Chain A
C-alpha cells in the first residue's frame, strides 16, 4: 500500500504561543481506515485542520497524493472531504442548498443523480427541502457527512464522528465508512475511545500532546496493550484465597469482598472458565461479575513509560 497523505515534521504554534503539534510525522495509507486516538487537547483537530487547509502550517510539510497542500492547494484540497467536530451549518438553508454549495465549492459540476444517491444513502432525501434548523442533531451530522462527500472525495476526515450520536446512527456511520473504503476512499477519523478505534479502524495512531506516540495495526496494538481485568463481587467476604483458586493468579481485594483476575486478550485462553469453575467447586457465591479494559489513560501511561 502506498501513502496518500504524508506529514513530515509538522509543527503548529498558534498565535497565542500554544504549541499544538510538535515535529509530527505520520503517513496515511491509500484505502485504509485509520483512527487518531488521543485525549482532549492532544492535537487531533489541529492536525486535521492543517491538512484540510483551515489553519496554517508553522513548520514542516504535508502532501496529499503527492501534492503539496500549500503550493498545490487546489489539487490537494479537491481530493479531501471533511466532517468537522462541531455541528456547523447555516440554520435557514435547506439540505439540498447546502449540499449543492459544497459540491460547487469543490469545483464539481452539478450532478443530480449523484447527489440524490448520496442523500438517499444518508436517509436525507425526504428532508432535502427542509431548512437545517428543523433537523435533529443526528440528521445535522448526516448533512455534514453529505456535504463532505458531495464532491466525491478520495480522502474523508471524520473529526469525532460519534460525539452525540446514538447507537443506530453510529452503526449506520460505520457501515458507510466500510462501504466508502470498499470504493477506495481513505478514511481518517478521530476518537477518544479505544473501543471505537478497535471497532472500525485498520490502523490506530495514538496521539498525545502534539506527538504521535505510535502507529500500529489494530490487531498488533490490541495485543500489545489490551489487558483486561475480571472483577468478581463476592457475596461474603473471604479472609484468604481458597486452596482451589490459589494457583490461578487471582487476587483478593476490597477487604476480601472482591476477587480480581488479570488476563491478556492476546492469549488464546483467557483462563476465565477455570476461575469461575474453581469458585463453583469451592462453593463461593458471588453477586456480580464484570470486566474492566485498560483505559486510554493506562495505555498512555504505558506508552509514555516505554519511550
Chain B
C-alpha cells in the first residue's frame, strides 16, 4: 500500500458532506455577499468610475471578487476542517489510523479547495448576470482558480493545525488574510495607488495571485503573468513545507 486511497476518499467525502449539510452557509452566503459587492461597487459606485485599462469597473472587479471569496473561503474551510476534529477530540481517529500526514493533507485540503473553487465558479456565473464579461484565457483562468484554492487551503490547514482556540482561528483571517486580499488589488489596479503603497503592495503575495487571475480574464495585469504563476507555485511549496514540518515534529497534534 503506497497510498491509503480509501482514507483520502473517506476524509474527502466526510468533509464534503459537511458542505451539503449546510448549503446556505456554504453557498448562499458567499453568493449573497458577492451580489452585494456588485450592487454597491459595480453599480452604485462603479457608474462614477472611469474604466481601468479600458475595462469597465463592474467587469474589472469580477476577478478580484472571485479571488477575494476563493482565498477567504479556502482559508476558512480548511482551517475549520482540521481545527474542528481537534476541538472535538475526534482527531484521535485520524491519529490512530494507518494514514500518513500526506494523505490527511490531500483529503482535507482537497475538500476545502473543491468547496471554495466551486463557490468561485458560482460567483463567476452570477457575475455574467450583472456585467458583460468575456474571459480571454478560460483554461488558464480555471487553472488559476484551482491553484489559488489549493494554495490558500494549504494556508488554512496550517492555521487550523496551529490554532489553539476559536479566537485564534477567526483572528488570523480577520487581521492578516482579509487585509492582504483586500489590499492586493481586488477592487483596484495597483498603479492607482501612491508610489509608496505601490512598493508596499509588491510585498503582498495576494497581489501577485489576483493580478494573474485578472490577466486570464482581460489580458492586462499589474505584474507580468509569469511572475504571478511563479509566485503561486512558490506559495504552494512554502505552505506545503510548513505543513510537512508540522507533521514531522508532531506539533500540536501528537503529545
Contacts and interface: CB of A to CB of B under 8 A. Distances in A.
B164 interface: no
Nearest to B7: A105
A107 interface: yes
A239 B99 CA distance: 72
Interface stretch (B31-39, B90-98, B135-143, B213-221): B90-98
Most buried by B among A56, A98, A104, A108: A104
A105 B92 contact: no
B109 to A, nearest CB: 16
A147 B96 CA distance: 12
Interface string A55-85: 1100000000000000001111110101010
A93 interface: yes
B239 to A, nearest CB: 24
B164 to A, nearest CB: 14
A77 B97 contact: yes
B192 interface: no
A73 B94 CA distance: 13
Interface residues of B, number: 28
Interface in B4-30: 4, 6-7, 9-11, 13-14, 17-18, 21
Interface residues of A, number: 36
B48 interface: no
Nearest to A87: B89
A92 B254 CA distance: 25
Nearest to B88: A88
Interface in A29-67: 52-56
Contacts of A73: 98
Contacts of B4: 74, 105, 107
| Best-buried of B4, B13, B17, B97 by chain A (most CB within 10 Å) | B97
Given A54-B95, A74-B98, A75-B98, A105 B88 contact: no
Nearest to A89: B90
A97 B17 contact: yes
B6 A107 contact: yes
B1 A54 contact: no
A14 B98 CA distance: 23
Contacts of B7: 104-107
B255 interface: yes
A88 B250 CA distance: 21
Interface in B187-203: none
Contacts of B17: 93, 97
Contact of B92 (A84, A91, A92, A103): A84
Interface string B68-98: 0000000000000000110011101111111
Contacts of A56: 250, 254-255
Contact of B14 (A15, A77, A97): A97
Nearest to A97: B17
Nearest to A77: B98
A84 B91 CA distance: 11
B114 to A, nearest CB: 17
27 contacts: A53-B95, A54-B96, A54-B254, A55-B254, A56-B250, A73-B98, A75-B98, A77-B96, A80-B96, A82-B92, A84-B89, A88-B92, A89-B90, A90-B84, A90-B85, A100-B10, A100-B14, A101-B14, A103-B10, A105-B4, A105-B10, A105-B94, A105-B97, A106-B6, A106-B7, A106-B98, A107-B97
Interface of A: 14-15, 52-56, 73-78, 80, 82, 84, 86, 88-93, 97-98, 100-109, 147
| 7 tightest A-B CB contacts, nearest first | A104-B10, A88-B89, A105-B97, A74-B98, A77-B98, A52-B96, A78-B98
Interface of B: 1, 4, 6-7, 9-11, 13-14, 17-18, 21, 84-85, 88-90, 92-99, 250, 254-255
